[in-house]
A and B are shown apart, each in its own frame.
Chain A
Amino acid sequence: MLHENICEKGFLDEQFVQLEELQDDDPNFVEEIATLFYRDSSRLISNIEQALEKSPLDFSKLDNYMHQLKGSTTSIGARRVKNECTQFTDYCNAGNGEGCKRTFQQLKKEHSTLKKKLEAYFQLARQIGPVETACRPK
């Protein structure tokens, strides 16, 4: 039930499933990646937050941070967060500061929602023990 929730609702995509397949003999791999991801992305998010408070906005700096964030969201398969990143980048390229700020709020929300879901997922996984992979999105 938890698996359906996390994959079918589009929080995570095929890449996450690939990560699970990489797990093999290292049962903590996916959790380790998730932890690294959160550390990395939280840092980037706070950088972006600070940058968004400056005036005038430095769009190329923002774009650069977002590019980095997008890179790691892709690696972990965080689909919704990635979509917000793409949206943010579009606004950046268009020089639309308001659009950026709005999207950023959305991004933070998705980011923290995913974090809660992943935490619950790993907790459950630990209780159950090694189990078949989360899901195969169509």
Chain B
Amino acid sequence: MGLSISKRLVDLMGGEIGFVRKPGTGSTIAFTAVLKKGETGSLDAKQQYYDHVVLDFRGLRALIVDDKSIRAEVTRYHLRRLGIIVHDIAFSMESACAYLSSNSNPSDSSKISMVLVDKDVWGVDSSHPLHVLLKKLRQNSRTEVSESLPKIFLLSTSITPIERNELKSAGLVDNVLMKPLGLSMLIFCFKEVPSIGKKREASRGKPPILGVLFRNKQIMVVDDNLVNRRVAERALKKYGAIVTCVDSGKAALEMLKPPHNFDASWISKCQKWMGNGFFDATQRIRNLEREVNESIESGEASSEMFSNVTHWHMPISAMTADLDQADKKECMKSGMDGYVSKPFEQEQLYSAMARFLVSN
């Protein structure tokens, strides 16, 4: 099936595809395609940022824990793009722990900065041996060494925001990397972990990545307070986003019926008994999306009717100053994807929105 899909794609790109198969060895697939030169300048900012960021990671060493060697090679490839070196791959948690124990008092150059564990291997042992090992190493060692103990990342193809948060708050992982891996996503996820990578002077002013992230993205701000709308709008416009403000959940619902062109929506925390109910609006939006998705799937409606998008799920973030645990649960339950907290600090915006805006 993969070849069939590839053939279609290559046909669309005006090329041809063929392969040579060697029994016992494998197949080599080659294709041609007609491409045209991209507009100069459109990728410049992004490229500059990547070049800049790679400096943070170049030379770091990582350990991959995965029982499938080809899959591990793919991960190694992605890390290499960031300049991260992977000398060894462990096939089980046991061997990973043994490796790390013997690596616990290394010289700077051979120190492991991060461990990437595939979810398949992670799930096997629920006693979380890595976590236990790191705890022990931290207790036994001098402070400088304990600060530089490796960071743990879980590699997963699917995980719910709730699961991710639970793993992080329990201290079992430093972050979760979603597959398929991509350069932008890796950078964002690594940067979400403080003290990873080389320490460089924090730069003031607009971090270029926010400009790349938000530029020309259509974002809807929903808040019934004028002051709040103006501030949120300003914060987003600063990074080049196209902002639409509405003052009620009801108005938001009108504009967010698929098909629409919004990339993300920020909704202010629920006003308790007012008819503008924002949690309610989120739920309604999700219901609408589900209906549309189901009708496309069942063939009742064609995706062309919905701008050729076959699966509608718009990132909705709760925008709020203080969110306690109970509120967080409500947010998740009603179908929100995350929270953007006020004041709109740059680091906040970046880590809250990166995940949504980059994959689009």
Interface pair A18/B272, CB less than 8 Å apart: no
> Which residues from chain A contact B272 at a C-beta distance below 8 Å?
60, 63-64, 67
Interface-lining segment among A70-78, A100-108, A111-119, A123-131:
A70-78
Q: A33-B231, A75-B342 in contact; A40/B238 too (CB < 8 A)?
A: no
Identify A36's interface contact among B226, B273, B342, CB under 8 A: B226
Q: Is the CB of A18 within 8 A of B228?
A: no
B235 near A68: Cβ-Cβ < 8 Å:
no
23 A-B residue pairings within 8 Å (CB atoms) = A15-B343, A22-B234, A22-B235, A24-B238, A29-B234, A32-B230, A33-B231, A40-B226, A40-B227, A60-B273, A64-B271, A64-B272, A64-B273, A67-B271, A67-B272, A68-B271, A71-B227, A71-B228, A74-B321, A75-B228, A75-B231, A75-B342, A76-B227
B91 close to chain A: CB less than 8 A: no
Q: Known contacts A22-B235, A24-B238; decide if A72 and B227 are in contact (CB<8 Å).
A: yes
Across the interface, which residues of A come within 8 angstroms of B225, CB to CB?
Answer: 40, 68, 71-72, 75
Closest to B322 in A: A74
Residues from chain A with Cβ under 8 Å of B282 in the complex? none
CB of B254 within 8 Å of the partner chain: no
Could you tell me if B227 and A19 are in contact, using CB atoms closer than 8 angstroms? no
Q: Which chain B residues border A76 with CB–CB below 8 Å? A: 227, 231
From known contacts A24-B238, A71-B268, infer whether A33 and B230 are also in contact, taking CB-CB under 8 Å.
yes
B233 → chain A closest CB, angstroms: 10
Q: Which residues of A contact B226 (CB under 8 A)?
A: 36, 40, 72
- Give the docked Cα–Cα distance between A77 and B342 (Å): 10
A71 to B231, CA, bound (A): 12
Contact status B238-A36, CB under 8 Å: no
Measured CB to CB, the nearest residue on chain B to A24 is: B238
**Contacts A37-B227, A71-B228, A75-B228 given: A18-B343 contact, CB under 8 Å?**
yes
Q: Judge if A110 is at the interface, Cβ distance under 8 Å.
A: no
B window 253-289: CB within 8 A of A: 268, 271-274
| Other contacts beyond A40-B226, A67-B271: 9, CB < 8 A | A14-B343, A15-B343, A18-B345, A22-B235, A29-B234, A33-B227, A64-B274, A71-B321, A74-B342
What chain A residues lie within 8 Å of B271 (beta carbons)? Answer: 64, 67-68
Specify which of A29, A36, A64 is in contact with B227 (CB 8 Å cutoff). A36
Q: Does B344 contact A (CB under 8 A)?
A: yes
Q: How many A-B residue pairs have CB under 8 A?
A: 57
**Nearest chain A CB to B281's CB is how many angstroms away?**
17
Q: In chain A, what residue has the closest Cβ to B231? A: A75
A residues in contact (CB < 8 Å) with B:
14-15, 18-19, 22, 24, 26, 29, 32-33, 36-37, 40, 60, 63-64, 67-68, 71-72, 74-77
Total contacting residues, chain B, CB less than 8 A: 21
Q: Point out the residues of chain B lying under 8 angstroms from A63, CB to CB.
A: 272
Q: State the Cβ distance, B36 to closest chain A Cβ, in Å.
A: 36
- B205 shortest CB reach to chain A, Å: 9
Of chain B, the residue at the smallest CB distance from A34 is: B227
A24 to B345, CA, bound (A): 15
B274 cross-chain contacts in A, Cβ below 8 A: 64
Expressed in whole angstroms, the Cα–Cα distance for A75 and B221 within the complex equals 14
User: B31 CB to closest chain A CB, in angstroms?
Assistant: 47
Distance, CA A83 to CA B268, complexed state (A)? 20
- Residues of the A chain whose Cβ atoms lie less than 8 Å from the Cβ of B238: 22, 24
Residue of A nearest to B223 (CB): A71
Give Cα A15–Cα B235 distance, bound, in whole angstroms.
Answer: 12
Rounded to whole Å, the gap between the CB of B269 and the closest CB of chain A is 8
> Considering only CB atoms, which chain A residue lies closest to B345 in the complex?
A18
Q: 0/1 per residue, B323-358, Cβ < 8 Å to A?
A: 000000000000000000011110000000000000
A68 to B223, CA, bound (A): 10
Which chain A residue lies CB-closest to B227?
A72
Please name the residue on chain A nearest to B274 by beta carbon: A64
